[in-house]
Amino acid sequence: MFEKVLVANRGEISLRVVRACQELGVAAVAVYSDADESALHVRHADEAVRIGPPPAGKSYLNIEALLEAARETGAEAIHPGYGFLAENARFAAACREAGLTFVGPSAEAIEKMGNKSAARRLAREAKVPVVPGSDDASSAEEAAQTAGGIGYPIMVKAAAGGGGRGIRVAEDEDELRKAVQVARREAEAAFGDGTLYLEKLLVAPRHVEVQVMGDHEGSVIHLYERECSMQRRRQKVLEEAPSPGISQGVREKMAEAAVRLAREAGYTNAGTVEFLVEDEEYYFIEMNTRIQVEHPVTEMLTGVDLVKEQIRIAAGDPLSLEQEDVPMVGHAMEFRINAEDPDQDFMPSPGEISSLEVPGGPGVRVDSAIYQGYQIPPFYDSMVGKLVVWALTREEAISRARRALREYRLEGINTTIPLHLRLLEGEAFRSGEYHTGYLEELLNGG
């Protein structure tokens, strides 16, 4: 096991990793920008190193500053968390070249799965169903020919994309030609890579992801699925597990397909294989080569500490459990608490938290790095916490979530808590019969 791990992130995920390290008897090193000097992840870490001014490009995305912080403190490994450099193959390779262990998959696996076109090809080789489309759309003419064979509506997507960027929808050929130009410019600006590919637009699918974990001995397991269909502008709002909208047959086939794909990629550490589901059909869309924001849902469902497992695997240990040992008990849900105003088109709401009351009780977990008097900086993602609930049944989990959300008091800023309470009262959510377009329809008065 490592003696010291540097956490190359901020906020709640950094604090989450710090705690996991300390429970393993590993010293945790936090890094911080000037905006985060008084942050909780800095307070709770064993050591902390300043890495630059507030803009992420000069701090949390500064590879050399992170490597220097590791050298300065004698850290043997770097955990990237999620976001920032977590899926950056160049960062993973730089860690290896510096003699540091990257707590995640290899740079080669990140490269292989990070390009969505290449991942589609690999999925087909692993006999995993993919959404009808093409692996490349190098020109508007080529895209139009492909779309003619697939049918409209169609999605133009950035091969190096993520976070909902570099995506456009076309209803006909004229729209497609324009979409190719716009998506390419956006992809080049956001990712430095304008490569595009096409996918048939599924009108009302579910978005379901499978958590996988692999070790260096070639063993890969899944830890079941998470339902992620409650989305706004392709950004997840809440997640739950198990999915209330798929059959046991689809659950088993999809989980097996996720494991097959991870093995085909030579994948190690934690990853998530994402699918779109319509009726009894499921289609691979991408793989996230990192721990996910919503990993606590799986932890509550299975009792497996995914972050500790990540660290153990990175240190060379085999998986601590086999597939038949992974339990699935009850039902779990996660609600992303963002500093945004749902009534003002989700306008960011940075500011000082003047009063804070955190919910508790059986089956309630709060992952957050805020405190009363904390000043939310305007430079980073707006998520300030995650409320996670578990109960033996989905109905009980909904009741528990409603109670916990009402207890969660955050004053001084606007949050998405009122939106979550509204969703819990909706018939679509209560029945489990919702899809990726449901929340947009609800917000638009549909």
Judged against a pLDDT cut of 70, whether residue 43 lies above it is answered with yes
Of 226, 223, 221, 308, nearest to 268 by C-alpha is 221
Task: Extract the tokens encoding 425.
Answer: 């009262």
Per-residue pLDDT, 163? 64
List, by residue range, all CATH 3.30.470.20 domains of the chain: 206-443
Q: What is the mean pLDDT of residues 276-287?
A: 94
Per-residue pLDDT, 161? 73
Q: Which of 147-151, 176-180, 318-322 has the highest mean pLDDT?
A: 318-322
Per-residue pLDDT, 192? 84
The CATH architecture assigned to 206-443 reads: 2-Layer Sandwich (3.30)
Q: What is the mean pLDDT of residues 77-82?
A: 98
Sign of CA dihedral 103, 108, 109, 112: positive
Rounded to an integer, what distance in angstroms lies between the CA atom of residue 52 and that of residue 66?
10
Q: What percent of the chain has pLDDT over 90?
A: 86
Minimum mean pLDDT among 3-7, 27-31, 163-167, 207-211: which range?
163-167
What are the Cα distances from residue 52, in Å, to 40, 68, 83, 277, 440?
A: 18, 12, 18, 43, 38
Cis status of the peptide bond prior to 318, with omega within 30 of 0: no
Class of domain 4-103: alpha beta
Class of domain 132-200: alpha beta
Q: What is the mean pLDDT of residues 308-312?
A: 98
Calculate ∠ Cα 30-367-332, nearest 5°. 140
When the pLDDT of each residue in the chain is averaged and rounded to a whole number, the result is 95
Judged against a pLDDT cut of 90, whether residue 268 lies above it is answered with yes
Active site residue 290: yes
Rounded to an integer, what distance in angstroms lies between the CA atom of residue 46 and that of residue 60?
19
Nearest 10 degrees: CA dihedral of 71, 76, 78, 79? Answer: -150
Rounded to an integer, what distance in angstroms lies between the CA atom of residue 416 and that of residue 425?
15
For strand 331-338 and strand 383-391, is the pairing parallel, antiparallel, or unpaired?
A: antiparallel
Q: What is the mean pLDDT of residues 347-372?
A: 96
List, by residue range, all CATH 3.30.1490.20 domains of the chain: 132-200
Judged against a pLDDT cut of 70, whether residue 424 lies above it is answered with yes
Q: Three-class SS of residue 238? A: strand
**Among the options 19, 290, 312, 336, which is catalytic?**
290
Judged against a pLDDT cut of 80, whether residue 138 lies above it is answered with no
Phi, psi of 187 (to 5 degrees): -65, -40
Judged against a pLDDT cut of 90, whether residue 187 lies above it is answered with no
Of 117, 116, 96, 120, nearest to 107 by C-alpha is 96
pLDDT in tens, 412-423: 999 999 999 999
List, by residue range, all CATH 3.40.50.20 domains of the chain: 4-103
